[in-house]
Structure 1
Amino acid sequence: MRKFAAACAAILAICPALAQAAQPCLTPAEASSLTAFALPSAITGTTKRCAPTLGNGSFLRSGGSELAGRYSARRSQNWPAAKAAFLKMGKGNESSAMLANLPDPSLQQMLDALIEGMVAQQIPLEHCGEIDRVVGLLAPLPPQSTAELISIVFGLAGKTGQGRTNLFSVCKS
């Protein structure tokens, strides 16, 4: 239990450092895998945050949980590259070595909770309608295509240094 608490603290310590550190250059495969791994938790966090403000006919209220479940199906295939990307993003942080030594199930569980919680806290409620529309438009795509599309957008934002999505840039392949 003490190890779990220390690991949680390390992840929380790494997050502000990720935002302030030089953006790591992730390969397209790392960025896509990291995004694919994070999507189920991000969708769950978005659904929890936005569903109460959306109408009964909204996508997130009617299909958010199902979409998160569908996107979870390939998580184990995406995990090795997602883990490498996450650790690359924290490289140089004193907590990264401890995180790298955690068993994968523990690290995955902590990342899920962190991603879901951060998303649920940071979405402005006035943006929920637009987010619901975007998620509804992306929902028919295969999960890997959605992850690749989102990682391209995050990578482009990282190159411009604009906005809140500048956590990483995508290296040219």
Structure 2
Amino acid sequence: MKQVTSKFVALAALLGMASAQTALAQDCLTQPELTGMVTFALPVVMDGAMKACRPTLSPQGYFATQGPALVQRYAARKQDAWPAAKAAILKIGDSRDARMKDMIGNLPDSALQPFAEGMVAQMVTEGIKPDQCVAIERATRLLSPLPPENTAELLTFIVGLADRPKPGKKATLNLCPLN
């Protein structure tokens, strides 16, 4: 689970095209923004995991039999989460090139959403190793009874814990302190 959590932290950071130094230079990322980004990304992440793991998992397993319905359940929340996800993406965007950030910020949602989804899908597909698939499928099965909003909140909580600064290391995301 630690590998999955660290990959999710990296995924959240890469979704916004951020490096550690860039993220720290930005305004902090609020819990609702991070939750929005997680909610928006979850259907793509799950679909990407199912595709990446299909060759190594049982055709009678959870992903094969229940996965598509779960992706649809999570996808129903995606559009409502977009405003917060977009705010998060723009907040942790690449500030080294102001013109690029402005260009991304001025893209219509109809262009920015598929771009963000494509990045997430590629990272998930490339980031999953075959020996992680059983654990990913199990974690997904264990989380599946939760309503999508609870799963997103739980993952946001885990990302927040996993992304705390450690001695000698900076956090990947610049999360706002909880009040």
**TM-score, normalised via structure 1 length:** 0.82
Any conservation in 2 of the 1:154–1:169 contact (CA below 8 Å)? no
Q: Among 61, 82, 86, which residue is 1:83 paired with?
A: 86
The one-letter code sitting in structure 1 at the alignment partner of 2:57 is L
Aligned-pair Cα RMSD in Å: 2.1
**Take 1:111 and 1:63, find their aligned partners in 2: how far apart are those partners?**
25
Written as runs of structure 1 = structure 2, the 5 A alignment for 1:15-164 is 18-24=18-24, 25-94=28-97, 95-160=100-165
* Aligned partners of 2:22 and 2:92 also within 8 Å: no
- Give percent identity, aligned residues only: 36
Specify the alignment match of 1:3 in structure 2: none
Distance 2:87 2:149 in 1: 18
What is the deviation of 1:117? 1.2
CA distance in 2, matches of 1:160, 1:125: 30
Q: Which amino acid aligns with 1:141?
A: L
Aligned AA (1:19): S
Give yes or no for contact 1:37–1:78 (8 Å, CA) kept in 2.
yes
Post-superposition, which runs of at least 4 consecutive aligned residues in structure 1 deviate over 2 A? 14-17, 19-25
Gaps of 5+ in 1: 1-13
SS at match of 1:36: helix
Q: Deviations over 1:39-80 (max 9, x none)?
A: 011011101101210012321122222211111111121111
Q: Indicate how the Cα distance of structure 1 residues 71 and 16 shifts in structure 2: closer, same or farther if over 3 A, else same.
A: closer
Question: What CA distance in whole angstroms lies between the structure 2 residues aligned with 1:93 and 1:86?
Answer: 15
One-letter amino acid of the counterpart of residue 21, structure 1: Q
**Which residue number in structure 2 is paired with residue 6 of structure 1?**
none
- Normalised by the size of structure 2, how large is the TM-score? 0.80
Distance between the aligned counterparts of 1:60 and 1:87, measured in 2?
32
CA distance in 2: counterparts of 1:131 and 1:161, whole angstroms: 26
Q: Confirm or deny that 1:170 pairs with 2:178.
A: no
For residues 65 and 167 of structure 1, do their structure 2 counterparts lie closer, same or farther at Cα, with a shift above 3 Å needed? Answer: farther
1:159 counterpart SS class? coil
State the distance in 2 between where 1:135 and 1:106 align: 29
